[in-house]
Structure 1
Amino acid sequence: MIGELTTNLTTRSFYADSIRGTFAHQDLVTDELIDEFYPPFSRPSNRDGFLALWRNLDYRLTDAGLNQVTAPTLVLWGGDDQWLPSSQATRLADRIPHAEAVILPGCGHTVHEDCPAATIPRITTFLN
């Protein structure tokens, strides 16, 4: 019941604060960005899906199979991630054959949004 209550009472302002927590560069969290991100979350069916996702996350099967990944893998992580420590990047890459971990200094949890100038060239080089 607490999950439903919290999820259903999440206002745009609370949501914006949550998004700000994923960015090291707070100036990038504009009203326009929140206006783009919040409407999908505000739909009741999407909120229900979000809650179901978090209640059912079970990474045990994924974790058990990481050593079976055959594709080259790039793990990008923000050095200033406030949600998950960047030390997890190397621990994750160490468990995946042929994986490379890159920690981007000064970037938060959403590296692609927070640090596109550092992220996009890394991804482009990796894919090429």
Structure 2
Amino acid sequence: METSLITGKKTINGIEVYYEYYNHPTSKETVVLIHGFLSSLFSFRQLVPLLKERFSIVSVDLPPFGKSGHSAKYQYTFKNMAKTVVELLDNLGIPDYHLVGHSMGGQIVLNILSHFPAHAKKAVLLCSSGYSKRAKQSLILASYLPFFYLMIKVYLARSGIEKNLRNVVYDQNLIDDEMRQGYMNPFLENSIFKGLTGLLRHREGDLPPEILHQIQTPCLLIWGEYDKVVPLQIGKRLAQDLPNSTLTVLKDTGHLVPEERPQVVFQHIKNFIFEGEKEKENTSGF
């Protein structure tokens, strides 16, 4: 039997959420993939083929990114995004799971562990964002101006996809047309910029140390040695503040670890999930 793939959109927590569900025929473990800021589930394209040989996978486009929707009524707080992911998994009938979050997705994972921990068994944070404050009040007020979303569009256009990709990968040779197109596609519609306006307005800031100290879920932190977006120092600080965590640093690697080092990341995830257990053979022949 082969792993089956279900793709679809569901209205969850008042917003349309796009997901891809790889249902492994024999594995009892499910891995949930949560992408980062200005990204989509495309960022896990190198990791999914490896993970699906051992696990069921749910990969989610966080609103308003990827193929998920935007709603002016949706609250783009990290807590509400975490609630949306949890409710999607409940809707799919998945009782427990392991969480994997990259960059901002790592902060969504931490919010799940803090606010909705009942079904999360373990968590992997890939260059997770941490300790960022809420936007300045002046910027939040400016976000209510008509057509503010177009200002965000112009700002992001100035930085450009090429510059952004060069900032997130250590090995520049990895950047090709497929990567450029994959990371640019979600920004071809104006709705995402309206969603980004909501995110800027609603985002409550990252979880503070006193909350992180209360998270007991086992966490594996995987970091790129040369991460320019979320420096390694953030990973070291998170490892200190999360009481049940381990930090692994990947040499000659930048921020986009699922793209740059998929084989190594997969091995770390697999070993972490099966830590202390004798992994059972399955029919995949992996």
Distance 2:226 2:171 in 1: 10
Shift of 1:51: 3.8
Distance 2:178 2:191 in 1: 23
Match of 2:234 among 78, 88, 112: 88
| Bigger radius of gyration | 2
State the TM-score, normalized to the length of structure 1.
Answer: 0.83
Contact 2:149 2:196 in 1 (8 A): no
Structure 2 counterpart of 1:45 = 191
Contact 1:89 1:103 in 2 (8 A): no
Shift of 1:13: 8.0
Report the 3-state secondary structure (helix = DSSP H, G, I; strand = E; otherwise coil) of the residue aligned with 2:223. strand
Unaligned runs of 5+ in 2: 1-141, 275-286
Match of 2:222 among 72, 76, 86: 76
Moved beyond 6 Å, runs of 4+: none
State the TM-score, normalized to the length of structure 2.
Answer: 0.40
Shift of 1:33: 1.0
Superposed CA RMSD? 2.3
Contact 2:224 2:257 in 1 (8 A): yes
**AA matched with 1:44:** N
Distance 1:53 1:7 in 2: 12
2:177 is equivalent to residue 31 of structure 1: yes
Report the 3-state secondary structure (helix = DSSP H, G, I; strand = E; otherwise coil) of the residue aligned with 1:21. helix
Distance 1:124 1:99 in 2: 16
> 5 Å matches for 1:93-108?
93-108=239-254
Report the 3-state secondary structure (helix = DSSP H, G, I; strand = E; otherwise coil) of the residue aligned with 1:82. coil
Structure 1 counterpart of 2:259 = 113
Aligned residues: 127
Q: 1:21 to 1:58 in 2, by over 3 A?
A: same
Shift of 1:4: 3.7
Larger RCO, structure (CA 8 Å, separation 6 or more): 1
Report the 3-state secondary structure (helix = DSSP H, G, I; strand = E; otherwise coil) of the residue aligned with 1:52. helix
Distance 1:104 1:54 in 2: 31
Contact 2:219 2:245 in 1 (8 A): yes
Unaligned runs of 5+ in 1: none
More helix by share: 1
**AA matched with 2:153:** N
More strand by share: 2
Distance 1:110 1:54 in 2: 23
Contact 1:78 1:104 in 2 (8 A): yes
> 5 Å matches for 1:47-66?
47-60=193-206, 62-63=207-208, 64-66=210-212
Shift of 1:6: 4.7
